[in-house]
Amino acid sequence: MDRFLSRKEILIDDAGWEDLILGVVIGALKLPERRYMERRISVSSFQPPNFENKQYLDDTVKIAEEIVEVMRPDRETRFKVFSGYVLSSIRRHLRDWGFNVEEVQITGHLQELVERSYGEWCKEVGVPTERLGDKRRFWPLLEWVAEKPKIREKLVKTGWKSWKQKWREKAFKKRF
């Protein structure tokens, strides 16, 4: 009977996908052990020509391989992977490898860990803590980039059409 009661799960979530700067943090939490790991996808994967070639999806597959190697799931382990697009390759490859994968909304502890990690990464590159308080970080980050656009543009997801067509000009002119 306990075989059916024990629930081995690995939850996977991301942070940073919708943010103007840096890349993406992907975190995995193995339950019930509460074993956590995270990896970063570099901002260069979100800049030309890598962004157009969807390099970030290839990067997520490498991260999926690391998660499997580190977490050592067995065939009874259920993967619960956030439904976001950036994790679509992880979901597909885990299924291709024979794992049970469920697309979910992640809340709670894992989401907090991954968001905190993205915030720490922002602080590492000099973003003040007060700019990171809200989940709606676009405007505070755009204002931060606009303070020193020639220096900080290298941290921006410059592959975004909206950066090229709208936000870059506004950041360099400090008008938004």
d(CA 156, CA 147): 13
Rounded average pLDDT over 164-172: 90
CA-based max dimension of the chain = 66
The dihedral over CA atoms of 55, 168, 166, 144, expressed in degrees to the nearest 10, equals 100
Contact 81, 104 (CB under 8 A): yes
What residues have CB less than 8 Å from 169, skipping those under 6 apart?
A: none
Q: Average pLDDT, whole number, for the chain?
A: 91
Q: How much of the chain exceeds pLDDT 70, in percent?
A: 94
pTM for the model stands at 0.88
Q: Which residue has the higher pLDDT, 175 or 161?
A: 161
Asked whether the predicted pLDDT for residue 72 surpasses 90, the reply is yes
53-57, 71-75, 168-172: which is most confident? 53-57
Tokens of 21: 């700067």
Contact 164, 20 (CB under 8 A): no
| Domain ranges across the chain | 2-128
**Pairing of the two strands 9-15 and 24-31:** antiparallel
Q: pLDDT value at position 7? A: 82
d(CA 121, CA 168): 22
Per-residue pLDDT tens over the stretch 30-58: 998 899 999 999 999 999 999 999 999 99
Range 135-164 burial, b when 16+ CB lie within 10 A, else e: eebeebbbebbbeebeebbebbbbbbeebe
Q: How much of the chain exceeds pLDDT 90, in percent?
A: 75
Domain 2-128 sits in CATH at: 3.30.420.10
